[in-house]
Structure 1
Amino acid sequence: MSLLYEDIVKFVANNLKCEICFNIFTKPVTLVCGHNYCHKCIKECWAKSVKRDCPHCRKEISSSALEINFTLCDILELQELGGRRFWDILAETDQDHKTQHAGRAITKVDSLIKRLDWLKTEIRKTEDMLSEELDTRKDYEDGCSTVQMDGSSIDSDPTSSCYADRMYSLTSQDDQEQSEEESSQELVEVDPENSNTLQDAHLAPSAEARQQSSSAEAALPAKFVDLSFSPELGNRRLVFCPEKRTVATRLGHQGRTTHDRFDACQWMANQEFLSESGCFYWDVDTTHCTGWAVGVAYSSLMRRDSLGRTSSSWCLEWSNGQLGAWHNDLKTSIKHRVPSSVRVILDMAKGQLYFQSLCDDLLELHCFKVNISQPIRPVFWLFGLSRNTLSFPKR
């Protein structure tokens, strides 16, 4: 039997299938639309249906009379004359389809397995690269560190690049410190990011961290600034307590002044720095504040301006349960827990502003490149309707 003949027989066999039972026709009948079915199959199909139509083309059949298709009956009788029966050929064809489908499925599975193996290899390469980079960074930071665990100095060379570029702290306190008494103010304001933070998220600095901080302070060329505040540079809802060195909210209305330097609950410090005035730092205790921003701004910051939302202000902010650095209304997210104490370092010569966590061994949280084209001052922003307090420890 030639291949062409075999293909013709298979084609004929596949066209002798009933579209209802998917078997070789038994007593085939033809509908007015031209489609063929087993007599029994179409009768049962119509018995289950509300209307009488063709299962294939959905054409409505007006007459219930079914005409036997004698041509198909004659073709079906050919299998009785010898040779291969149509249902055998049909079964063989179905098996070929299943085999081809299984082969395609196996090929697809093999392709997916190869793809998965490649992805695993790439993941391992990436993990190795990141691990190597972290080890290199750790070695670099260890080499740049100026403080050992016992608080002793391990890098006293002021010409060291690590010393100059990576570590910023304070020198010994000046013999003379100014102490200014300020008028009382009070504050109440809603967090601009709808802050709903928890006060227990603050983490108090450890004694060890404070010891290391003190050792680092004595080794680095930064000058501590004892911040002071005047009523005319704050919001009327803020209050400064010189004895406790705190800026806080006051829930009542007593003691309010008519001063309103800012519409928001912000306060600008008295200290003003010029581009040639050196390197300075100050510390801010945020333990008792559920939402805050600490930073610097030009002295010309407008009344309606908000810290970090203008091109002339920079800040580190904790609000809405997130830590971020803000400048020109752009936020840089910082993946770190909320620090309970922050050190702000302003290097006027380099035009750089640093934020460090005092409770994490002076870990650098963020660094800004600051364009110091005008006099610049420390600015603070308190969020929330509850009692909030920022403290400014002395050395």
Structure 2
Amino acid sequence: MAGLGVPVWLAEDDLGCIICQGLLNWPATLPCGHTFCRDCLKDLWGARGARRPWACPTCREGAGQQPQLRKNTLLQELADKYSRAVRELGEDPAPASSRAPAPAAAPGPPHHPARQQVAVQKSITEVGQKLTELVEQLVDIVRSLQNQRRLTESGPDNELGILGTTFSSGVDLSLASPKLVTSNTSEGKMKDVLHDLEEIQEKLRENLTWKEASEEQIQMELPEAPSSSSCPLPNQSLPAPKRASRFAPWAINPTFDLQTLSCTLEVSKNCQIVTVSHHPQSYPRSCKRFSTSQVLCSQAFSSGQQYWEVDTRHCSHWAVGVASWGMSRDGILGRTIDSCCVEWKGTNQLSAWHMVKETVLGSDRPGVVGIWLDLEEGKLAFYSVANQEKLLYECPVSASAPLHPAFWLYGLHPGNSLILKQVRV
């Protein structure tokens, strides 16, 4: 007996390949569960160097040898059914790699499925950004209430005094704040609410980061729209997409190293978002772990040229740079001879730290920082990344010991986070 036919609403991106931005063609599912066109994977893997050549483009999970690519027959059947259904509606669902120009149509507003997809994703992103702002406001309100209670109970000591004392003595800033009192029900509930809000906050940030990357990649593939004042496109009023980075050929995708992660920090599952935890984490004791709110990346460089970007917009006080693996686990980034960085102090001051010396750079805060490590010429450069890269600071570096991307987050504000961005190519 034939099974019950249930109508299911699908969009093209539900069955799409994030590499070619087209409908899945000979879909191959990797061991991590993500699916791509087989030929797209082969082309991508063939263009990579020797470092983790078989990594998944989405989650970066990889193996020592190339996995066997088998066709996902269920997804292929769904893609074929979707293609037939769309063709009946007069659309063109072919994969991006083989999509032909659409035939001439009757006069009217220009139609392009990819542009409509961008417009829809922009709307979703805008809603997500509004939600993120609201959650951040709620987090600030709860923290303010906690600070009022904290000040009432701790007397004249305040966070600024604690910060000055602990910073000069090298004590972990993340542990400087007095412990929250949880002896009564209202304080316990406040603590639980804040924890839940911060979890929602992290999920929103992860989703928005992924959507922004997807939108930028789609915009790159769009053809030029015909100019028409009477038929504006849905996204015509939006700002022009950012151009590709000039450092793209040397771009890497570093990941946070869990061995060095401070117990005051947490990382996302893909190891590309690090967040100041509300509660100290019970990580295994290790001499490799920082005692302050710092973390290195797993990748180490002793030659060549590398470039990566860090989204700092969700952190009020941070430092990003490089350090050797031998950096003191009690030290602070930039305050040791084997580390250097740029630091936003949260007091409208951007500084660079090199050879334990501070150089004040100004009062403009960069939302995204690009780091260019050129070990062939022995130099390190920091850029503010917007529509183009603007040089912030440059200094000489030595490759006598391999250098790791390094990060420090201000430990008195749970929820602060740094994000390793995918570089626009």
* TM-score normalised by the chain length of structure 2: 0.43
